[in-house]
């Protein structure tokens, strides 16, 4: 007796045809359902019987009926086709459902940016249909870069300053910064048209101790640097004392400007923009969570 070896796509097609013939009650009724001729159906049935090694049905003047083996094959075929449909559904569900973790490092004070590409992408990734655990690490840019390079972080958001060539970058947005003073500072009540760059340079200013592009460094070098800050929040603390002037991102200063506690100085000349990028390792392994996050960021742009 012939034994069935590895199942091919053709054998599965024959079983589907057999299932339709059985459910239609014969070859003639199955013609319309299958869209092939009765002779073609008969040939397919002969092929299936030859491959299985026994007769599956009686057909002729007496009508259509299954043999005992045919009944068994019909039930086994139903089990096989159901399993295939379940497998297909499970695979499709995997494409729709993302599972895993995302470790993302973000440099300080970006949450108030109007262009919320990262926030929107995180919202998409944490939607109810996905099963993703998010871990956000708020760290200085050099720590974020190290974390991405050593694999501790999957992705990072940092200024595009002094980045290693081993990282892939994707531009997110440019962050505008202006020179600010606080209420109580001698320049707070001065109008821009009465101020000169030389006047501004006479007042104590804040030097940042974090990476900046050349344009930003030049803007600071033109000031009288008398204090320093490790991050933008530290600079805001010093500005709010009323003793120092300093550069802040526009979105960071917005809350104090709106409250009348801070103002920008000579906006026509005292400004620069910092490009922020999303970083990943160039040689990173494929990761569905990371790939999905990157695609959501692109969609949010």
Considering the domain architecture, whether residues 82 and 105 belong to the same structural domain is answered as: no
Residue 48: is its pLDDT beyond 80? yes
Beta strands 246-249 and 204-208 are unpaired
**212 in a domain, yes or no?**
yes
User: What does the pLDDT read at residue 109?
Assistant: 77
Per the domain annotation, does 231 fall within a domain? yes
pLDDT at 192: 84
Q: Do residues 169 and 295 share a domain?
A: yes
Residue 2 has pLDDT above 70, yes or no: no
* Residue 44 structure tokens: 């397919």
CA distance 1 to 68: 16
Q: Which two tokens stand for residue 146?
A: 């190290």
Q: Helices 27-34 and 9-24 meet at what angle, rounded to 10? A: 120
pLDDT at 111: 83
103-123 pLDDT, tens per residue? 999 987 788 887 889 999 999
pLDDT over 80 (residue 140)? yes
Asked whether residue 49 is assigned to any structural domain, the reply reads yes
Q: Say what the pLDDT of residue 123 is.
A: 94
Question: Is the per-residue pLDDT at 233 higher than 80?
Answer: yes
Assigned domain for 224 exists: yes
Number of H helices, E strands in the chain: 11, 11
- Joined tokens for residue 137: 């690490």
Residue 1 lies in a domain: no
At which of 47, 77, 92 does a domain end? 92
| Residue 2 belongs to some domain of the structure | no
Same domain (yes/no): 104, 24: no
CA torsion, points 177, 178, 182, 186, in degrees to nearest 10? 160
Residues 267 and 137 in one domain: yes
The residue assigned the tokens 């990028």 is 277
Segment 197-202 mean pLDDT: 92
Is 215 a residue whose pLDDT tops 90?
Answer: yes
Write 80-85 long-range contacts (CB < 8 A, 24+): 80/7, 80/12, 80/15, 81/12, 81/15, 81/16, 81/19, 84/12
Give the domain range for residue 51. 9-92
Mean pLDDT score, 178-205? 93
**For residues 188 and 169, is the Cβ–Cβ distance under 8 A?**
no
Q: Is the pLDDT of residue 136 over 90?
A: yes
Mean pLDDT over each residue of the chain, to the nearest integer:
90
- Confidence category of residue 1, pLDDT binned at 50, 70, 90: very low
> pTM (2 decimals)?
0.69
User: Is the domain of 73 the same as that of 103?
Assistant: no
Higher pLDDT, 1 or 90: 90
User: What integer is the mean pLDDT of 239-258?
Assistant: 97
Average pLDDT over residues 157-177: 94
Q: Which of 37, 61, 92 is the last residue of a domain?
A: 92
Element housing 135 (H / E): strand 131-138
**Burial label, 260 (beta-carbon count in 10 A; 0-12, 13-18, 19+):** exposed
Domain with residue 42: its CATH number is 1.10.10.10
285 confidence band (pLDDT: 50, 70, 90)? confident
For residues 81 and 106, state if they share a domain: no
State what percent of residues in the chain have pLDDT above 70.
95
Say if strands 155-159 and 99-106 run parallel, antiparallel, or are unpaired.
Answer: parallel
The alpha carbon of residue 81 and the mean position of all alpha carbons in its chain are separated, in whole angstroms, by 35
- CATH code where residue 150 lies: 3.40.190.290
Whether residue 157 contacts residue 110, with contact meaning beta carbons closer than 8 Å, is answered with yes
More confident residue, 177 or 63: 177
| 21 and 155 in a common domain | no
| 172 lies in some domain | yes
Nearest CA among 167, 170, 162, 176 for reference residue 118: 170
**146 and 281 part of one domain:** yes
In the predicted structure, residue 3 carries a pLDDT above the cut 80: no
What integer pLDDT is reported at residue 202 of this predicted model?
94
> Do residues 174 and 277 share a domain?
yes
pLDDT, tens digit (0-9, with 9 covering 90-100), for 49-101: 888 888 988 877 767 889 999 899 999 988 988 888 777 766 765 667 788 99
End position of a domain, from candidates 64, 92, 120: 92
Same-domain pairing of 44 and 183 = no
* 177/45 same-domain check: no
- Angstrom CA distances, 73 to 53, 84, 85, 102, stand at 12, 16, 18, 48
Specify the number of domains making up the chain: 2
Predicted confidence (pLDDT) at residue 148 exceeds the cutoff of 90: yes
Identify whether 163 is part of a domain.
Answer: yes
Query: Are both 68 and 194 inside the same structural domain?
Result: no
């Amino acid at each position: 007796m012939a034994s069935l070896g590895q199942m091919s796509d053709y054998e599965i097609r024959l079983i589907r045809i057999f299932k339709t013939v059985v459910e239609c009650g014969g070859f003639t009724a199955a013609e319309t359902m299958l869209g092939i001729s009765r002779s073609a159906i008969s040939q397919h049935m002969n092929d299936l019987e030859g491959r299985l090694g026994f007769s599956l049905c009686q057909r002729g003047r007496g009508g259509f009926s299954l043999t005992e083996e045919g009944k068994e094959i019909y039930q086994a075929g139903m089990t096989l086709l159901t399993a295939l449909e379940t497998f297909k559904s499970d695979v499709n569900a995997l494409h729709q459902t993302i599972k895993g973790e995302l470790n993302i490092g973000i440099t300080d004070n970006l949450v108030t940016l109007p262009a919320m590409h990262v926030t929107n992408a995180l919202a998409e990734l944490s939607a109810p249909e996905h099963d993703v655990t998010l871990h956000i690490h708020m760290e200085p840019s050099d720590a974020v870069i190290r974390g991405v390079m050593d694999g501790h972080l999957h992705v990072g958001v940092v200024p595009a300053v002094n980045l290693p060539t081993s990282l892939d970058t994707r531009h997110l947005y440019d962050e505008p910064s202006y020179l600010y003073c606080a209420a109580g500072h001698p320049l707070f009540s001065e109008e821009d048209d009465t101020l000169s760059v030389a006047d501004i340079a006479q007042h104590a200013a804040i030097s940042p101790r974090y990476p900046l592009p050349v344009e930003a460094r030049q803007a600071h070098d033109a000031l009288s640097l008398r204090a320093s800050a490790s991050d933008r929040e530290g600079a805001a603390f010093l500005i709010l004392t009323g003793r120092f002037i300093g550069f802040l991102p526009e979105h960071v200063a917005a809350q104090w400007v709106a409250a009348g506690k801070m103002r920008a100085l000579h906006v026509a000349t005292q400004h620069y923009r910092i490009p922020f990028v999303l970083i990943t390792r160039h040689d990173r392994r494929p990761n569905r969570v990371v790939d999905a996050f990157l695609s959501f960021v692109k969609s949010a742009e």
